[in-house]
Every structure is written in structure tokens, then in C-alpha cells.
Amino acid sequence: MTKTISKIIRRRHKIASKAGMAPGTVAYVGSKRDFKVTAEIFSYNETELIHKENLNPLTIKDDYKPDEVKWINIDGIHDTEVIEYIGKTFCLHSLAMEDIAHAEQRPKLDDYEDYVYLVVKMIDYNEQTKEITTEQLSVIFRNNTLITFIEDKGDLFNGLRDRIKKGNIKIRKSGADYLLYSMLDIIVDNYFLVLEKIGDKLEEVEIRLLGEPMKSDVNALHGLKRELIFLRKIIWPMRDVIGLMTKADHKNILPNTQLYLRDVYDHCVQAIDTVETFRDLTSGLMDLYLSSLSNKMNLVMKTLTVISTIFIPLTFIVGVYGMNFEFMPELHSVYAYPLVWAFMISITAAMLVYFKKKEWF
């Protein structure tokens, strides 16, 4: 239940562990990982395609050809040697290298004169653990080259790889800017998948809250609220990043691609809209739950009050005739007992009528 909060704290922890180092030091900040970092290279134009997998990243060279789009993908950012090698090979600023190795950043876009550095967050929904997972993607975009650094093995881009391999005309004809757009499009589309899951859970909680709410429902609601807080932290800056790309005037982003990016921007805004709507709904559901608790309390109290109000006076009456005084004339009358019963029955009837009128049961 408390995993989201610990995620935020863990994040902080890593940064904290860095506090004190000289700025500009390339040091891995993130969860412990030890798989071998590998590289993958696509270089293609309309007619040709070269695809190499499982390369040793330290063999990559900056062999830029203007008529070719090149996508270098590095899986894993925990090997600082690799990042430093790539950084040196492609003349990256030390700050960019530091940022690549830092898995706990806020989405941002840094414009270094001849290249652009981009951090975005991929999110996914793990069906097994019923949890949202996040992974960081760093992108260096220079001329017709795209270098991507992915935090962990496994990403959302297999469909994209297939499209390149199968010779999708649009992608093979366009430059690296279009490739970058395709990635962002996939990432933002995936936000909706995750939002849908949250929406499903929200609907379940709502149905239960409109019926007979239980304590577990409010805990679930609290969990959803935290997940939304968490998503908001990711999607809001994402919007700014894409907004910057649509406005900025990067020589390598063609006007046509800007049109496409504007479309991704619209989707991002829609995702934010949905997050905010869901937040509104959760706070409405919290109110509903609290009012439902009060309602149940009222019901319980009414039951108690009806029972007590009827039987406590009756118990008093029978108590009266249980007294042992020597001189109680009523005790000796033949009619006394039935009369007492009649009296008690009429009191009870009167009270029931009264409570009925007050709609207490």
C-alpha cells in the first residue's frame, strides 16, 4: 500500500547520497542494477537498413552520415564508464553525462547549442503486482542521430522497431526528428493505458462506496489518490517538455514534425485533464464515504435509541411492582396485572407510532 510514498522517498535518498560530491561528476543514482549494459544501433534511410544488437557500447563510433538516420540505444545507465565513453565520443557536456546517469530526474529539455538533451519518463502498469512502474529515458538528439539511454532492460519501443524493420515508408523517409516524435507518441499513448487502469479501479471503489462502504475501500481510495499525485508529478513537466519542443526552433526539427509534436502535446494535455478529473472524483468519493459513515452511525444510533426508549420505561414500570412494600394496594387487585400489561402495550404502541412518524425505522 505504502509503496508509492516509499518510491518518492527512495528517489530522494539516491539524490541525497550524492549530496557532497563535486557537481559534474558522472555517478549512477538509482536502484541497484547489475546486468551488462548493451547497445543497439539502427541506421537507415529510405532504401537501406542496418540493425545491430547486443553490441558492446564501448565500440560505438560517431560515424555521422548526413543521408542516414542513426538510432543508438543503450540499455542500462548504471555503468558510468559507458556513459563517459559515449559522452567523449559525441562531445557531450559533463552536465548532460551526469544527468544521464541519474535515474531520478524530473522530465526536462536542455538545449545545448548543437544538440538537445531530453529526459522523459515511461510509465507502465504491471499486471502482476498491480502497480505502476516507471522507467527513465534520456535522449540526445543531434543532427540525424538519436542516442537513447534506458534505465532498465525492456522498453515500449518494440512496435517502433518493427515498423523500421518492415520498412514503414513514413518513418524510413523522415529524419531523426520524426523518430523522436514516434517515441514520444508511444510514451504519451501509454499514459492513457495506465490512466485507464486507475479509472477502472476508481469505478470499482465508487460502486462499492455507493453501496456498503468498508474500511478497505477508503484505504484503496487513498492508494489511488497517491497514484494520481505521483502521475501528476510525471505528466505535468512532460507537457512542458513537449510544449518546448513544439515552440522551440531547433534546426533539426522540421516544421512538419512540429505539427506531429503539437499532436502529442494535445494528448499530453488530455492526459493531464484526466488526472485532474480523477483527482476531483477521488475527493468527491472521499466526501461520499464520510457522509456514508455518518449515515451508518445515524442508523445505529436510531436502533439503539428506539430500543432503549421503548424498553427502559417499561422496565421501570415492572420494577415498580417488584417492590416489596407491605402496603401497595394495587398488588392485591385481580385486574392489576392485566391492566399493567394494557398500559405497557399502549405506551409501546404510542412510541412506535411516534418513531414511525419521525421515520426512525
In the range 298-317, which residues lie near a second copy by CB under 8 A? 298, 300-305, 307-309, 311-316
Indicate which single residue of 58, 293, 345, 349 sits in contact with a second copy (rule: CB under 8 A).
Answer: 293
Indicate which single residue of 61, 170, 251, 357 sits in contact with a second copy (rule: CB under 8 A).
Answer: 170
| Residues 327-356 close enough to bind a second copy by CB under 8 A | 327-328, 330-334, 336-337, 340
Q: What is the DSSP letter of 332?
A: G
DSSP three-state, residue 38: strand
Closest CB 60 distance from a second copy, rounded Å: 25
Cα–Cα dist 131/4, whole Å:
9
Q: Is 202 in the site for a second copy (CB under 8 A)?
A: yes
Cα–Cα dist 333/344, whole Å:
17
Please say whether the beta carbons of 227 and 4 come within 8 A: yes
Q: Where are the alpha helices (DSSP H) in 118-214?
A: 158-165, 169-173, 176-210
CB nearer to a second copy: give 6 or 56.
6
Cα–Cα dist 118/30, whole Å:
18
Cα–Cα dist 137/48, whole Å:
27
Closest CB 27 distance from a second copy, rounded Å: 12
Please say whether the beta carbons of 225 and 158 come within 8 A: no
**Listed residue (53, 54, 31, 262) closest to 152, CA to CA:** 31
Closest CB 32 distance from a second copy, rounded Å: 18
CB nearer to a second copy: give 55 or 347.
347
Instruction: Determine the interface stretch with a second copy among 82-90, 127-135, 137-145, 195-203 (rule: CB under 8 A).
Output: 195-203
Size of site (CB under 8 A) for a second copy: 119
Rounded to the nearest 5 percent, the helix, strand and coil shares of the chain are 60, 15, 25
Please say whether the beta carbons of 150 and 184 come within 8 A: no
| Cα angle: 50, vertex 184, 176; to 5 degrees | 35
| Residues 216-235 close enough to bind a second copy by CB under 8 A | 218-219, 222, 225-226, 229-230, 233
CB nearer to a second copy: give 117 or 149.
117
Closest CB 213 distance from a second copy, rounded Å: 10
Indicate which single residue of 284, 343, 345, 353 sits in contact with a second copy (rule: CB under 8 A).
Answer: 284
| Residues 130-169 close enough to bind a second copy by CB under 8 A | 159, 163, 168
Indicate which single residue of 35, 64, 321, 343 sits in contact with a second copy (rule: CB under 8 A).
Answer: 321
| Residues 90-129 close enough to bind a second copy by CB under 8 A | 93, 95, 99, 105-106, 108, 110, 112
CB nearer to a second copy: give 60 or 184.
184
User: Which set of grid coordinates corresponds to residue 139?
Assistant: 535522449
CB-count exposure of residue 147 (10 Å: 0-12, 13-18, 19+) = buried
| Residues 237-276 close enough to bind a second copy by CB under 8 A | 259-260, 262-263, 266, 269-270, 273-274
Cα–Cα dist 149/136, whole Å:
8
Instruction: Determine the interface stretch with a second copy among 47-55, 78-86, 127-135, 178-186 (rule: CB under 8 A).
Output: 178-186
**Listed residue (235, 28, 272, 232) closest to 120, CA to CA:** 235
